Structure 1
């Protein structure tokens, strides 16, 4: 509130809004529930295999089941078999192969977390995800913008929000936010204008500052002062882990 006591008109203003992953996921599931009414959703998770290294990741099958009930139709696919995988399938494969395994019925929600950086053809993966969604269906995509190399089975790409927008041309982005990767830390930030993600390049200067939110000036200075004698951990210590998360809806 300004000194004159009148509310400030913030329309058109670029803002960084604090949030959490839990809050954003709850909002996504609220939107899915509102769109479906009383119908149970059909949900696909791309890159569903769970491993020891994923112990801090959210279990989407459990989250969706708790929200929509045991009769929710949930399918997990991955390149290799494992815990959480219902079908071994390559999201970069031919659309006819995906439809032959998953069936002709489209999905209400597709979840693709920490997979696109490992995909040999991320543009093809994005196109297949769009094709598997019903019109009005939702997609949740999470991928690193800044993370140490992690081969599973290999590591190819890093994405910005606008990079994801170039991949997913048939989705309207409802929200986009950044989250850190520290264990037990659920802090996220949205960069938005009038309540919508700003996908213009002019938002870049604000986004650059988010690295300093994850790793502040004192941490930067401390790591750099030790860099000459502690080179090996620099990639994991100096480079902040920052993830790009986006919720889109198929037109």
Structure 2
């Protein structure tokens, strides 16, 4: 009987043995960063989800294209975080939704105190800042093409906020987290109180943890992650982490 119990305990200990999963990612503060608290919001969610299932995570920060390519080649167990597209879906399994990036219109309160919108037609006549290389939305791009709105395109988000503050544009659509982060870190403390964002998102884009189809264990590892992520969402931990993201916790 004693030998049986010892064998059973050994089997159970093997069954719950902790693993360390290797995750390739890139720099995109405050979602993921080698110098951010907990490696950034997305990385924190990933590590906590695996921890809920008894496992650890090791992040490698690489150029984004290399992170994707080396994960596909089997050098990493997963890569974080990516939006969906058909080409990637051919090579990777997509986890449950890790996060959702919301694009909102930022504006200067004193310039547009009554700003509101429900449809793109409500934006007719507006000058809209756009960062080169960004895509806004099909409807807004069409409105610009038809001359209903005017895009003013510059090289980066910080420039767009300066145009907004100088009154050269009326609106600037940008990821809400990116926008708040820039206002906190690149402008004087009084500036952030002059700028706000409309609560209605222009669009939202989910992001996922990707697992290479070349790895025979990817389905298993993905199930582990998804279970941990569900646990974080169920008990409210995820919502608390997202509130921390908006408050600037991950970039302090």
- Give the TM-score category using the shorter length: under 0.3
Normalised to the residue count of structure 2, the TM-score between the two structures is: 0.27
User: Which structure has the highest helix share of the two?
Assistant: 2
Normalised to the residue count of structure 1, the TM-score between the two structures is: 0.28
Higher relative contact order (CA 8 A, sep 6+): 2
User: Which structure has the highest strand share of the two?
Assistant: 1
Larger Rg: 2
